[in-house]
């Protein structure tokens, strides 16, 4: 269900761009840089985007996740560098939260 997550994250980034007048380059798709040396958002923008994504996940699948926690911050490669890494990270959290996540037709 990674594709559904990717769709949700890209839609949320689009909403973020409008709400915060940002210019995250969605045309890059999964390679859209978020944070870090190539990223477009600062730390405050990243927190806002993460909160929006957490809310979108809860609205869509009724699952409450915390994306920015010690686990995320202790990763060798930050899950917040680009969309692909973030989607992969969320997908792994969803696998833990809902064991049949990858088998579900959501």
Domain ranges, residue 68: 2-103
Give the whole-angstrom CA distance, residue 59 versus residue 103: 20
Residue 79: closest CA among 69, 70, 88: 88
Quick one: angle between helices 43-61 and 2-20, nearest 10? Answer: 130
48 Cα distance to chain centroid: 11
Angle at the Cα of 55 (from 51 to 58), degrees rounded to 5? Answer: 140
Q: CB-based contacts of 35: which residues, under 8 Å, 6+ apart? A: 41, 43, 46, 78, 80, 81
* Per-residue pLDDT tens digits for 63-99: 999 999 999 989 899 999 999 999 999 999 998 887 6
Task: List pLDDT tens digits, range 7-52.
Answer: 999 999 999 999 988 788 888 889 999 999 988 899 999 999 999 9
> What is the rounded distance in angstroms from the CA atom of residue 99 to the CA atom of residue 83?
23
Total number of domains in the chain: 1
């Amino acid at each position: 269900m990674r594709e559904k997550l990717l769709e949700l994250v890209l839609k949320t980034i689009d909403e973020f761009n409008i709400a915060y007048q940002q210019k995250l380059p969605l045309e890059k798709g999964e390679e859209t840089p978020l944070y870090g040396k190539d990223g477009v958002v600062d730390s405050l923008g990243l927190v806002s985007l993460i909160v929006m994504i957490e809310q979108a996940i809860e609205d869509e699948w009724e699952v409450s996740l915390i994306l920015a926690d010690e686990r995320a911050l202790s990763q060798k490669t930050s899950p917040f560098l680009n969309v692909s890494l973030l989607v992969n990270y969320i997908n792994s959290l969803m696998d833990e939260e809902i064991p049949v996540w990858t088998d579900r037709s959501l």
